[in-house]
Structure 1
């Protein structure tokens, strides 16, 4: 049997809270390396409450946006542990790393935009569900995209998602690839006839507000499982079956059934008090009855929780456990899982003048706007030949455990 310690010296040093050894090893070891459970050294430092190790790892570029085998990031584990300072520093570093990643990708994106032809297109989506509550949360919109050179104008009526409601308006995002990063993105409010530059950094108060919300809400991990996805040709006719082909707008399109798309979500709440649970339940109930908006009490910041009381775990016990099933290192997990299976009909046209790769390059620029995230995930799947000019009948069967 292979020695489980090989290549895990940094993990083991963090696990034992040996700050001097961590400091010596950190310069030569990959701080993003995962162990057999998918945990990075930062995961372990956070789960075990080793704050000095957390600071050391972050100072040496440990990634915050990384998940272990159970789908949890270091930030999620920090929320569970409940130390406010650790949550705050991880949140700040996550935002900084996201900005740095975008700026690294920026030259390639601007180059790709400049090289592709200019175009105008409309993306229309209208998601529906038979569940009344869910129907009110699913967006419908016609998004208009104008592309010229390295610049993009995007018009949308979906402004934001707050208090479990989509906010409507008439908003345009102007991205200028040739401008310096701090001036490249401008938002127009076409109704109020005003504009503003998009800030790249939140204020101190905004960060602390976000920490309050994280500490008083469920920890949610959701991922779209595309491993089992299959596409089969849609058929028409009762007796003489034939592959379904129709015009979508002015483009010939082949229709496919999409099967096996599953949204898996997990919610953790071991960090929440009974009072938190009652407040959150009241907000959801008020929303389903069409009640008014709610906000968190910002008059006082949430204090840190008492550290979790756990049985000591040896490194050998941890590293020899089955992958993804380590002994508990932090607060006792309270987790609810759900799985939803989606089915859809997709119309693909090889006549459409834009490729999926081109659309991804455009969406990469506007990816910070959260209502494009799921659309982008879908487009990245292994689609049949052509461009997805229409997606219909997105329904699901819910399963809960």
Structure 2
């Protein structure tokens, strides 16, 4: 009877079966007529299985046919996460590159609606102030701050920032401008300017080896804000006679609300890390608690990480795998070194009825600039059902130990936005080899609370 059940179950997932059995030829013949994104009982797609079992030829074949990279199984992990655990550098690089391509394709699909929405919106200038804080003693002293300056004209948006990258407890300073020209043809709409080096780079296939090094030497992280139990209550002020808190935020009247039930859920795996990796990461945290920033990026080129020795060959058969209960996936790779945690945050949001931008307008702007991962957190927050008005001041958890206070400190509709702001200056040189992926897609690769 169990054998009959296994045969019936196995017939449901032909792509999964031939990957499990290592039959590249069969996969090649089936791949055009079957759903390449189908999930089995464990939520694994064919790409998940190919990565977890080290079937490199199957991985490349699936990617060539557009297998989705940004998809999670029942355990909450993507093929990229499983590739990091397995440790084959070429596979990780291929997945990162494909993820970037698929993200851009999704952006192009949304482009017509986005461009139409931007054209309907008035032109403006806006400033967002970021103040990063931590409950860990002394860490707040070395955390960065930033002011993002955003210009919008027609279907074009420019964001100037000095906080180029923020990944776990590493960040990088710079003077970067991110330009989106919605009316340009695909492949020419995104441009990054390095204003210090006077270099620019358009949307091209870029060097991703630095990203791969970071992925291979860091915990596999998945973090997200849980919005299930969030409620809002009016913040109070006064010692004896309590009243609703109302203050000016910049030039805008705002009502303050307490955010209740905000939880940052984080999960991490580190079975791919050596004892040396763990000691280095521990040293970074210790330097932080002592008020030092020596653990952060300093511009020195990293040593390239070599592929790990593969995990022991799994002795699980296809029949055993396919009949395993949902959520009880047999071990196919390394023994997991896993930890999950959740932290509740006390946060506030200030909502102003006077702010001239609407939340929907803000979401259209953030749709363009969320490749900067700290801005992706802002977009995730704004998607929640907020109290009436516009969120002119917000507390957002960025990491389990770090929160950001975002203030919309300046906003003005303007009809005199200089069109040259959205052009590459004539004295800038194109540098196709410079690695700007860390600026443009790192949040998708490292900290999108979903990719890994």
Match among 57, 72, 88 for residue 62 of structure 2: 57
| RMSD after superposition | 3.3
Once the two structures are superposed, residues 120-151 of structure 1 have per-residue CA deviations (whole angstroms, 9 ceiling, x without a partner) of 22223323223136425754333232222112
SS in 2 for 1:362: helix
Partner Cα separation in structure 2 for residue 392 and residue 163 of structure 1: 18
Deviates more, 1:213-222 or 1:6-15: 6-15
- Measure how far apart 1:61 and its partner are: 0.7
Answer yes or no: is 1:328 the counterpart of 2:326: no
Q: Contact conserved, 2:138 with 2:289, CA < 8 A, in 1?
A: yes
Distance 1:43 1:194, change over 3 A: same
Partner Cα separation in structure 2 for residue 160 and residue 376 of structure 1: 17
Answer yes or no: is 1:155 the counterpart of 2:155: no
- Measure how far apart 1:235 and its partner are: 3.9
Q: Contact conserved, 1:32 with 1:63, CA < 8 A, in 2?
A: yes
Aligned to 1:194: 198
- Measure how far apart 1:217 and its partner are: 2.6
Q: Contact conserved, 2:267 with 2:341, CA < 8 A, in 1?
A: yes
Distance 1:137 1:166, change over 3 A: farther
- Measure how far apart 1:45 and its partner are: 1.0
- Measure how far apart 1:67 and its partner are: 1.7
Partner Cα separation in structure 1 for residue 13 and residue 305 of structure 2: 36
- Measure how far apart 1:368 and its partner are: 1.7
- Measure how far apart 1:272 and its partner are: 2.0
Q: Contact conserved, 1:136 with 1:165, CA < 8 A, in 2?
A: no
Match among 6, 15, 23 for residue 20 of structure 2: 15
Answer yes or no: is 1:83 the counterpart of 2:88: yes
Aligned to 2:414: none
Distance 1:90 1:6, change over 3 A: same
Partner Cα separation in structure 1 for residue 182 and residue 105 of structure 2: 16
In structure 1, stretches of 5+ residues that fail to align are none
Partner Cα separation in structure 2 for residue 386 and residue 142 of structure 1: 23
Q: Contact conserved, 1:246 with 1:253, CA < 8 A, in 2?
A: yes
Aligned to 1:276: 277
Aligned to 1:38: 43
Partner Cα separation in structure 2 for residue 225 and residue 47 of structure 1: 28
Deviates more, 1:353-362 or 1:192-201: 192-201
Partner Cα separation in structure 2 for residue 397 and residue 302 of structure 1: 27
Deviates more, 1:96-105 or 1:357-366: 96-105
Q: TM-score, normalised by structure 1?
A: 0.85
Aligned length: 394
Q: TM-score, normalised by structure 2?
A: 0.76
Q: Contact conserved, 1:32 with 1:62, CA < 8 A, in 2?
A: yes
Once the two structures are superposed, residues 282-329 of structure 1 have per-residue CA deviations (whole angstroms, 9 ceiling, x without a partner) of 344345442645679968643332221255223343344343331211
Partner Cα separation in structure 1 for residue 251 and residue 302 of structure 2: 57
Partner Cα separation in structure 1 for residue 266 and residue 135 of structure 2: 19
In structure 2, stretches of 5+ residues that fail to align are 402-452
SS in 2 for 1:68: coil
Aligned to 2:115: 110
Answer yes or no: is 1:213 the counterpart of 2:214: yes
Q: Contact conserved, 2:170 with 2:297, CA < 8 A, in 1?
A: no
